[in-house]
Amino acid sequence: MTALAFLIMLGVLITIHELGHFLFARMFGVKVESFSIGFGPPIFKWKGKETEYQIALIPLGGYVKMYGEDSMTEPLQGEVDKSAYQDPRSFHSKPNWQKMLIAFAGPLFNIVLAIVLFVVVYTVGTKEPAYLSEPVVVGYVEKGSVAEKVGIQPFDKIVKVNGKEVKNWKEFTVELGMKSGKTVEIELLRNGVIQKVSVNLPDDMTKTSFGISPVFPAKVGKVLENTPAAKAGIKEGDLIIGVNGKPINSWFEFVDFMASLKEKQPINLLIKRDNKVFSTTLEPQYSEELKKYTIGISPKFETKTIKYPLTEAVGKAIDKTKELTVAIYNVVVGLITGEVSFKTLGGPISIAKFSGEALETGITTFLFAMAFISLQLGYLNLLPIPVLDGGLILILLIETIIRRPLPEKAKEYLAYFGFALLGTLMIYVIFNDILRVIQ
């Protein structure tokens, strides 16, 4: 499933990207000699009217080879036929603005594909947590959070923010997000009495949690293999109603109990399954990564499918594209400034795992994942790195400004530098992937 999902996703994204270059080249009258999905030896190929199409063995990219293409994009394929530079159907003979548009078309098609896929997802229907449409009843207050500091307590019901009624968690979250860095007045209902608290919100609500969560029953979602929970026979859908003789009313009460464990000791769980109650004893294991004892389960969150009319779906798709664009920009800047670790980057193995899990979850999740990867592919190809589309655009801009071509040797060395940089990065992310698998 993982391999199939990976090949489908990569095949679609590469094809769309190269199709952008191909169509714009043809639109400007450039002869396209070959259109390849993948690198290396061809698995099969066929000849069109003037273009050779092929699917190659290594599916980690593709290319469109245009007649008279400059050596800055092909430093490993020998000298370019200089006579082709004067041919009106050659890439080199075209004005720089047309060359830049041809280079830009690949990333553009990936970005457009992302928007189209988001529209499809929102039209077909997306799953979202059911609690988002429920009243804002606090189930858990995170220790040391903004909410705890202003005195918000479990089972408080938040009804207004700055005098504006909030009917559900979605509206409450939006209101807080819009007021990052500001002071707001939150009106809540506690034991039948209305109370008001003044809150100084963090500057960036996307990075700092307000510190409250809904009421979630302690229902088991996923049980990890070879963990204490799996060995004790705990299954998805089980409801934890007691620990060591004490009742458990929410998932976060169970989380707090697990966080309180300071040494390895057996615990007794009271489980409800199919209207039957039984107990089981297990011994938690210490997680070096989480720095606490765990039993290997995650909570089950109820979801519901939300569909939007086409016009609303388009608006939602554009908003989501803007949101993810900002997120991608912040990651790139963070990598440059050191605020984001390069260890967070994933390579082909991570993408394959991501796409496989998305496909297992459902077709809309897979399409959403494909849209997200397509958006990343589009923007990353616009980075001003030689051999990427952004590098070619940068060189063409420089040539336009200085009104003469850069020396061929300079372009060749830039291309070698680009290949070396991308090759090093690819080795690094694959090494990251392997480490994650080993861990």
The residues assigned a catalytic role are: 18
Which of 78, 49, 54, 77 lies closest to 64, judged by CA? 54
How many whole angstroms separate alpha carbon 257 and alpha carbon 268? 12
Task: Say which residue the tokens 């003037």 belong to.
Answer: 50
- How many residues are there in the chain? 439
Which of 397, 382, 396, 392 lies closest to 328, judged by CA? 382
How many whole angstroms separate alpha carbon 107 and alpha carbon 92? 21
Asked if 235 contacts 265 with a C-beta cutoff of 8 angstroms, the reply is no
Strands 136-141 and 157-161: antiparallel
- Determine how many CB atoms are found less than 10 A away from the CB of residue 366: 21
- Determine how many CB atoms are found less than 10 A away from the CB of residue 285: 13
Q: What angle do CA 65, 396, 379 make, to 5 degrees?
A: 75
How many whole angstroms separate alpha carbon 93 and alpha carbon 119? 39
CA distances from 166 to 98, 163, 173, 174, 365 (A): 52, 9, 9, 10, 29
CB neighbours of 148 closer than 8 A, spacing ≥ 6?
141, 142, 211
CB neighbours of 410 closer than 8 A, spacing ≥ 6?
none
Q: What amino acid occupies position 429? A: V
CA distances from 244 to 223, 227, 268, 272, 341 (A): 21, 19, 5, 15, 41
Asked if 48 contacts 80 with a C-beta cutoff of 8 angstroms, the reply is no
How many whole angstroms separate alpha carbon 248 and alpha carbon 415? 62
- Determine how many CB atoms are found less than 10 A away from the CB of residue 320: 20
Which of 48, 49, 52, 46 lies closest to 66, judged by CA? 52
How many whole angstroms separate alpha carbon 187 and alpha carbon 367? 40
